[in-house]
Amino acid sequence: MNKAELVEAIANEAKISKADAGRALDATIICVSKALKKGEKVSLIGFGTFTVTKREARVGRNPKNGDSIQIKAKKIAKFKAGSELSATVNK
Protein backbone atom coordinates (compact mmCIF):
# COMPACT_ATOMS: atom_id res chain seq x y z
CA MET A 1 0.00 0.00 0.00
CA ASN A 2 1.41 3.39 -0.96
CA LYS A 3 0.50 6.80 0.45
CA ALA A 4 -2.29 7.47 -2.08
CA GLU A 5 -3.88 4.10 -1.33
CA LEU A 6 -3.60 4.75 2.40
CA VAL A 7 -5.25 8.17 2.03
CA GLU A 8 -8.10 6.59 0.10
CA ALA A 9 -8.52 3.85 2.72
CA ILE A 10 -8.56 6.43 5.53
CA ALA A 11 -11.13 8.52 3.67
CA ASN A 12 -13.38 5.50 3.17
CA GLU A 13 -13.01 4.22 6.74
CA ALA A 14 -13.58 7.63 8.37
CA LYS A 15 -16.16 8.73 5.79
CA ILE A 16 -14.30 11.96 5.01
CA SER A 17 -12.96 13.44 1.80
CA LYS A 18 -9.63 12.31 0.36
CA ALA A 19 -8.33 15.87 0.80
CA ASP A 20 -9.16 15.83 4.52
CA ALA A 21 -7.67 12.34 4.90
CA GLY A 22 -4.49 13.47 3.13
CA ARG A 23 -4.14 16.49 5.39
CA ALA A 24 -4.73 14.33 8.47
CA LEU A 25 -2.12 11.79 7.37
CA ASP A 26 0.41 14.53 6.55
CA ALA A 27 -0.20 16.15 9.96
CA THR A 28 0.25 12.81 11.71
CA ILE A 29 3.55 12.16 9.94
CA ILE A 30 4.80 15.68 10.73
CA CYS A 31 3.86 15.40 14.42
CA VAL A 32 5.46 11.97 14.83
CA SER A 33 8.61 13.16 13.05
CA LYS A 34 8.89 16.28 15.23
CA ALA A 35 8.45 14.25 18.42
CA LEU A 36 11.12 11.76 17.35
CA LYS A 37 13.49 14.58 16.39
CA LYS A 38 13.14 15.91 19.97
CA GLY A 39 13.99 12.43 21.27
CA GLU A 40 10.46 11.71 22.48
CA LYS A 41 8.73 8.34 22.29
CA VAL A 42 5.39 8.14 20.43
CA SER A 43 3.07 5.42 21.75
CA LEU A 44 -0.17 4.52 20.03
CA ILE A 45 -1.79 1.98 22.36
CA GLY A 46 -2.59 -1.24 20.52
CA PHE A 47 -0.82 -0.10 17.34
CA GLY A 48 2.79 0.37 18.38
CA THR A 49 5.59 2.61 19.62
CA PHE A 50 8.02 4.77 17.66
CA THR A 51 11.37 5.48 19.33
CA VAL A 52 14.79 6.87 18.43
CA THR A 53 17.91 4.92 19.31
CA LYS A 54 21.56 5.69 18.76
CA ARG A 55 23.61 3.34 16.62
CA GLU A 56 27.28 3.49 17.61
CA ALA A 57 30.10 3.96 15.12
CA ARG A 58 31.44 0.67 13.86
CA VAL A 59 33.71 -0.96 11.33
CA GLY A 60 31.98 -2.49 8.32
CA ARG A 61 33.02 -4.19 5.11
CA ASN A 62 32.73 -2.91 1.56
CA PRO A 63 30.80 -5.71 -0.20
CA LYS A 64 32.55 -5.06 -3.52
CA ASN A 65 36.13 -5.53 -2.38
CA GLY A 66 36.01 -6.60 1.27
CA ASP A 67 37.92 -3.54 2.53
CA SER A 68 37.18 -2.30 6.04
CA ILE A 69 35.25 0.97 6.22
CA GLN A 70 34.33 3.18 9.16
CA ILE A 71 30.57 3.63 9.58
CA LYS A 72 29.63 6.79 11.52
CA ALA A 73 27.35 6.83 14.57
CA LYS A 74 23.79 7.93 13.87
CA LYS A 75 20.30 8.04 15.30
CA ILE A 76 17.70 5.70 13.84
CA ALA A 77 13.92 5.51 14.15
CA LYS A 78 12.50 2.22 15.38
CA PHE A 79 8.96 0.86 15.48
CA LYS A 80 7.73 -1.89 17.77
CA ALA A 81 4.30 -3.29 16.97
CA GLY A 82 1.69 -3.28 19.72
CA SER A 83 -0.27 -6.31 20.88
CA GLU A 84 -3.42 -5.58 18.84
CA LEU A 85 -1.45 -5.02 15.62
CA SER A 86 0.58 -8.18 16.21
CA ALA A 87 -2.60 -10.18 16.86
CA THR A 88 -4.21 -8.83 13.69
CA VAL A 89 -1.17 -9.66 11.55
CA ASN A 90 -0.88 -13.17 13.01
CA LYS A 91 -4.51 -14.20 12.45
Integer CA distances (angstroms), 54 to 40, 48, 51, 78, in order = 13, 20, 10, 10
Predicted pLDDT at 6: 97
Predicted pLDDT at 17: 96
Query: In whole numbers, what is the pLDDT of the chain averaged over residues?
Result: 95
Task: Write down the pTM of the prediction.
Answer: 0.80
Predicted pLDDT at 66: 87
| 28-41 per-position pLDDT tens digit | 999 999 999 999 99
**CATH at residue 65:** 4.10.520.10
- Report the percent of the chain where pLDDT is more than 90: 95
Predicted pLDDT at 26: 97
Q: DSSP of 62-85, one letter per residue?
A: -TTT--EEEEPPEEEEEEEE-HHH
Integer CA distances (angstroms), 18 to 23, 34, 91, in order = 9, 24, 30
**Contact call for residues 68 and 91 (beta carbons, < 8 A):** no
How many separate domains does the chain show? 1
Full domain range(s) for residue 85: 3-89
| 61-71 per-position pLDDT tens digit | 999 998 999 99
Non-local CB neighbours of 86 within 8 Å, separated by 6+ positions:
none
| 47-62 per-position pLDDT tens digit | 999 999 999 999 999 9
